[in-house]
Structure formats: structure tokens, C-alpha cells
Structure 1
Amino acid sequence: MLRTRFALALLPLALAGCGKSKTAVVAAPPPAPVAVVERPMPRPPMGAAANLTLPIAGPDGAFATPNRNLSAIAAQWHLRAALNVAVLQCVRAGDPMEAQYNGFLATHKKAMTRAHDGLKAEYRTRFGAEWQDRFDDDMTRLYNFYAQPPARAAFCAAAQPLIAAAAATPAGALDEFAATALQSLDVPFTDFYRAYADYRADLAAWQTDRTQPAPGQIAPVQIAAVQPVPLTRAPVLTVARDLLMADTGVTGGD
């Protein structure tokens, strides 16, 4: 009987001890410092100078070129200028492109004369007494446009097949060919302009923050400041001494 009473007295204590769950809050260690190095300064693309002035981009994001909004006769004359610069810059004496260019001039001699005279007439109409100066200035800018060194390699690659195609174009079909060819010949330069604009953006970012993690370093990851950690050891059962000794009969027999 006494043993039963003793067991019943200990049962609430055991249940109370097992029902409690404790957690500990442990502060996360501070992240280790990350070694940083200075990022390389961005460089202009294609060996260009660091202070170039780009053409203004239109609402569509495309850069303006001298070949925008041309009449048919202006397109023909601009094509002649482009192919002339290509032969001067891209070929050596005796190269097939040289013979093809001369073939183009021979096949389209009359068309080139009409284009030149017609373009001058357009300038007279637009600029009056100042037409000759404006014409000369614009032709200078046109030749300089095609002679830009950073885009030379891509320009030569684009011009090579077009010179052969121009020489093979029938005399009466130059209008359509010139418009399409000028679009292709613009691409090396507009590609360069976009690359240069990207360089400027990279340079501005570099000037704002020149550092980056050193090789082999990983940027720190944000973690919580504290984390609850459940205790894994079993709860400890304790019994009050006065309760255990309240009945001296527990040490005796039945």
C-alpha cells in the first residue's frame, strides 16, 4: 500500500518534468571579413579613344548615321563614298576588290553623274547661298564616318561582298541596291556606338565602386542574428526530500 502511494506521489512530478520543452537562443557569429581588390578600369572597345562623342540616339534607341532619311540619288552617292573608302582602307593594290570597284564605277557611270548633280541641286534648294559649304562639310563628315578606325575591320568585312554585288548590279537597278547596301554598311558603326555606350556605363559604375571580392573569396551572406536551438538532453526529475520522507513506512516491510 505504501509503495502504491509513493508511486502515485511521484507520477505528477514525472509528467511535469516531461511536459516542459526548453530552447536556447544562440547569437550567430559575425561574418568573416571579405578581402577585396580593386576592379580593373574598363577600357574603350575596339581600341577607341576614351573621350569620343557619340551620335545622338533616336527615340527607337538607334544611333543616327549620315545615311538616315536620304533621297534615292543621295543614297547612290553615299554608296559610292562608302565603297571608295573601303577600297582605300581595306585592299592592297591588285586585290580583286579594286577591280570590282572600278567595274562598279564603269557600269554605273551615268547614274553616279546624275546622283552627284542631283544631290548638289538638293543642297541648293535647302541651303541657298551656303549650299556649297554645307555640301563640302557633309561629304567630309561622310568620308570620316566610314573611315573610323575602331570599326574598320567590321566595315571591311561588310563592304567586301557588297563591292562585288554593286559591280554586278544592272545599271537601272541601283536605287534599291543602294538603300539596302547602306543599311548593311551602317551596322559596323552602330555596333561600335552601342559597345562604346556600354563602356561608358561600365566606367561610371567603376568610378562609383572600384572594389570586388578577391579571387577565391565569397561575399558574405546575410543570416539571422539569433537562432533557437532545442535542447537535446532529457529533462531531470527531482523529488522534494520532505515528500519522500513524509511516511517512514516506506523503508519498512509491507
Structure 2
Amino acid sequence: MTDRDILPELIDGPFDRIALVTGANSGIGYQIADQLLDRGLTVWVGARDETRGADAAERLGRGARAVQLDVVDPESVARAAKTVGDLDVLVNNAGVNPGGEDIASTSLDQLRLAYETNVFGLIAVTQAFLPALQRSAHPRVVNVSSGTGSLTWNSGPNPQFDWERVRGGGLAYRSSKTAVNAVTLLTAQSLDERVKVNALAPGLRVTNLIPGMTAGGDPAEAASGAVRLALLPDSGPTGALWSWDGTRAPW
């Protein structure tokens, strides 16, 4: 393992920066917002439901601000970009798992929902906030992806999940996260290296992504990986997929 395979340690805060976290009213997104607030950032809590977003911002405190943001609604995305204004850190966390298993049992509607939210929504938000990020002195984009989207891990034994048991399953969700990984790489390549664009594989966590799921780890642990990517030093990496623990994951 080389230095390029491990994220650098964070510089001590507090950080006088502005962040937006999509899907931040619960789960990993909420924990990311909480930890960024601890670091001294101003955090916009993006939520599709305005009431839930406002409630989350109130619970978070420390000056957290709510903004209604439905990543699949172009008008909502445009309004959010206008409301937020300046931005240093964008965390594309909003996502769905519409169900379906293999190619025979996954509907086109499930595939459309996964891609509309997880891929097209992520792109729409990134495009809307790119002008603000490019004005920032330390622009960072973090795309919450999944280890199950890694083609390397999907095609052989890996430390993230029992690939033999789930081989070929989760077509809609997992393939959409593979697309997120590709978008991350190509976005990083198209922008000045000053804009750090990375993806996070958070590991299996107990969240609302899969209703009723009780297996998995603490979302706060996964959030710490996103925070490391959000606050990378200017010499930090770009265009890579990282596990929550700061080690590089394969595409």
C-alpha cells in the first residue's frame, strides 16, 4: 500500500467554509451535516421534504440551515442553488434503493428511479452548484457511492460483502452506483485539480435506504469518511473511490 492509497490526515479546524449536504434529514447525510458543523462549517441541510429538513436543521443546531432540495426536480435544484449562493463543499448524499434483484426480476421503473435519483440527480445538483464551487478557494465535491458499485469487487472476492451470495443481484441500485463512480472520475478529470472530486464507499449502514434493515454499522462512522473527503488539504487526491476508513477502493 502506498501513500496514494491512503487519505491524508485532516488539518485541524475550525473551517470557515460553507457546505451543502443533500438528503441530510436522516441517516448518513444527517451525520455528515452533524460532523461538518462540529468542524465549524456553515451547513445547509438539503431535504426533499421542507418540513423534515427544517426539523433536522433545528435538531442539529449550531446555525444549520435548511433548504428544500429535490434532486430530481430541476426547479427545486435551481431554487436551492439561488438560495445557498456561495459554496465550498458539496456532498451528494441523496439516493434511493428501489428494490429489484437480478436482470429477470428488476423492472424498468425500478431502474429509472435508481438512475433518476442516484445518477441524474447527482449530476443536476453538481452542475447547478459548479459556478459557486469554482469561486471557492477550496472546492470539494463528495459523491456518496457504494462498494457494491465497484466492478472489481463485484467480479471477485472482496472485503465489503459476500459477493457469491448476492452475485447478479441489486441490479438497479448497484449499477447506478457504478455509474456514480464513473461520473466522479470523469468530473474530476474535466475540472481543474483545485476542485477535489471523490466518491465514498460508506459500507453497510443502518439507514432508511432499505426499510426495516437492522444489519449494518453506525452511519456516523461512514460519515467520518465523507468529512475527510470534504476537508481534504489542497494537495489531496481527486478522482478516486475511497472506503469510509480512508483507504482507496478499486473501481
TM-score when scaled to structure 2? 0.24
Bigger strand share: 2
Question: Which has the higher Rg, Structure 1 or Structure 2?
Answer: 1
- Higher RCO, Cα 8 Å, sep 6+: 1
Q: Where is the helix percentage greater, Structure 1 or Structure 2?
A: 1
